[in-house]
Structure 1
Amino acid sequence: MNPESSHRNAIEQYIPILFPYAYNILGAVEDAKDAVQEVLTKQLSDPNALVKDEKSYLIKSVINLAINMKTRQKKTTWKEEFWLPEPIATDDAADRNLHLNEVLSYSLLVLMERLNARERAVFILRESFDYSHAEIAEILSVTEDYSRKLLSRAKASIFKPAPKRTQVQAAHERQVLERFMSAIQQRDTQLLESIMAADIRFYADGGGKVPLVTNLCIGAPEVAALQILVYHKFLRFARIVFTVVNHQPAFLSFVKERLTSCVIFDLHPEHGTVLQINAVLDPDKLKTLKQTHYNA
């Protein structure tokens, strides 16, 4: 193997390491892949460049590029009230070439949309990757005090990452959602509301491309009525598949074998009450999930 091929292979080994950093900041799979590819391509273009710690250098480059991309994303995103992150499969059908254990939960990604790109990066590096403030300051070219201030502001807006799901918890979640779907199919409003928190919130993101019944609904009676309406009007003959995205339970809806929606559930970790429902209908955000084959 010639030196150039050897260097390329060595660089490409960083792809699964770099991807979670980019994705957690951007909340979009293709954008994250583009950020990683751009950084690696730049590094490959000058194989003689001297870098003392190549891994740390590439991580720093990807994080800063992702911050810039996220800032632009927030300025140019479609003019709707809600923008939901792109879900990524983390079940048995997921791409195991990526370090998916480091991908954040979907609910946390939704909460992080409240933050600016730099606050988001500091929160991710400190809380998810256990970086010190000195390391964060070096990566973002800020002072340690400013890093602490950014983290404090981020924490004031969002919660800490939820603990990893256990197998028992995952099985319980599936049972809850099977009851949830059964209640919808049977139009059992009372059962459906009993599975939901009283102040449950429903969000939907069609990306400005898909007509929505509503993009926001609050309260168990209202959300239950909406779920029953949507199912019996649009999804009665759809194939509904249970899966896991971003470490949270979800339903994929296939209409004539076309993936039309990914609905992600935030459940109470102890009693399984549904706290929030996030429905992604934007076809561009479903592209990655389309690449995975799900069986009924």
Structure 2
Amino acid sequence: MDPQTALFQQHRPRLFGLAYRMLGTPADAEDVLHDAWLRWHAQDTAALDDPEAWLVTVTTRLALDRLRRARTEREHYPGPWLPEPLLVDADQPEAQLERAESLTLSFLLLLERLSAEERAAFLLREVFDYSHAEAAAMLEISEDACRQRVHRAKQRLRQERPRPDAPDTDRQHRLLERFAEALQQPDMDTLRALFAEDAVHISDGGGLVTATLRPLHGAERLARLYLQIALHQRGQGVRHEIHRLNGTPALLSWQGDTLISASWIDEDETGISAIHALRHPGKLARLAAVTKSPGPASLH
């Protein structure tokens, strides 16, 4: 491997982690890295004082451009949009992406509440530990403007997620086990007891399969929805497996060899506070390819 390629590969995990957190889909992150590599390959790297800063700057700006385009496209998206899980082997460097709590699917969805500019500034400063001055230079803004963007982002995230605690993955796993059991033996009271009173359900079908077109709120409504789903699936050979996606447990539902949904939850002391159901066939395709081996696997 030539020195220029070796240097790019050295920084690749950080670049990928940044692009994925910016965009929420591995394929888009890979496209950004491909474009960054082309620019890197055309660059006289011997003239660079700080190759890492150059690479992070280019990756950030490419991701910003792609995110702005994606936001415009998502204005016409049928129903809620959910991020796509990241699938890497635990031995690959991408599996060691810093600050894993910022990699969860729920947190990626939370980042969607920020503007593209706030998202970039927040990630550079709070996740990747660049100073305000360094992040400002990468974004071509003043240091004061960078501070303001980070401050607004943190305020907005606190409003959306008042509990700053890391997810309790053991409790999430137990709740998903009980949820899977309730789907196999559907009962309204059993399902109702799993949900917090103000629980919310968000489903992404991309307009290609049946899914709720707006969030549903309330334990009663969610229990009725999943009771109907469970009764409809009776006798259709649907099975459920718990896997690990982006560091937290998720429930994968299969019908034969077809993955029909991937669901992950947020929880509080009263039960499931939010359930996110990914049903978009395209987003499930890569996930299905990795999880078709018998029995649950650990996906990072």
| TM-score normalised over the length of structure 2 | 0.86
Residue number in structure 1 paired with 2:254: 254
Q: Does 1:141 align with 2:140?
A: yes
Q: Does structure 2 retain, via aligned residues, the 8 Å contact 1:185–1:228?
A: no
Q: Does 1:105 align with 2:104?
A: yes
CA distance in 2, matches of 1:196, 1:96: 36
Q: What are the within-5 Å matches in structure 2 for residues 116-131 of structure 1? A: 116-131=115-130
Structure 1 gap segments, 5+ residues each? none
Sequence identity percentage: 32
Structure 2 gap segments, 5+ residues each? 296-300
Distance 1:102 1:295, change over 3 A: farther
RMSD over equivalenced CA pairs, Å: 2.4
Give the drift of 1:113: 1.2
CA distance in 1, matches of 2:214, 2:242: 22
CA distance in 2, matches of 1:47, 1:239: 54
Partner deviation per Cα, 1:12-48 (whole Å, 9 max, x = no partner) = 2322221110000101110001101110122113455
Residue number in structure 1 paired with 2:227: 228
Give the drift of 1:281: 1.1
Partner deviation per Cα, 1:116-136 (whole Å, 9 max, x = no partner) = 111111122222223221121
Question: For residue 36 of structure 1, what is the amino acid of its counterpart?
Answer: L
Q: Does 1:36 align with 2:37?
A: no
Partner deviation per Cα, 1:240-268 (whole Å, 9 max, x = no partner) = 11012222221112222122211111122
Q: Does structure 1 retain, via aligned residues, the 8 Å contact 2:19–2:29?
A: yes
Question: For residue 179 of structure 1, what is the amino acid of its counterpart?
Answer: R
Residue number in structure 1 paired with 2:52: 55
Distance 1:241 1:96, change over 3 A: farther
Structure 1 stretch 74-83 or stretch 12-21: which is displaced more?
74-83
Partner deviation per Cα, 1:138-189 (whole Å, 9 max, x = no partner) = 1111112111221222223223795555xxx433322221112222322222
The secondary structure found in structure 2 opposite 1:56 is helix
Residue number in structure 2 paired with 1:292: 290
Question: For residue 31 of structure 2, what is the amino acid of its counterpart?
Answer: D
CA distance in 1, matches of 2:129, 2:165: 15
Partner deviation per Cα, 1:172-220 (whole Å, 9 max, x = no partner) = 3222211122223222222222221101000011112222255421100
CA distance in 1, matches of 2:83, 2:212: 20
Match among 87, 92, 96 for residue 96 of structure 1: 92
Q: Does structure 1 retain, via aligned residues, the 8 Å contact 2:192–2:223?
A: yes
CA distance in 2, matches of 1:76, 1:214: 17
Give the drift of 1:94: 5.0
Q: Does structure 2 retain, via aligned residues, the 8 Å contact 1:7–1:47?
A: no
CA distance in 1, matches of 2:40, 2:221: 53
Distance 1:55 1:212, change over 3 A: same
Residue number in structure 1 paired with 2:298: none
Give the drift of 1:95: 6.5
Give aligned pairs, total. Answer: 286
Give the drift of 1:59: 1.0
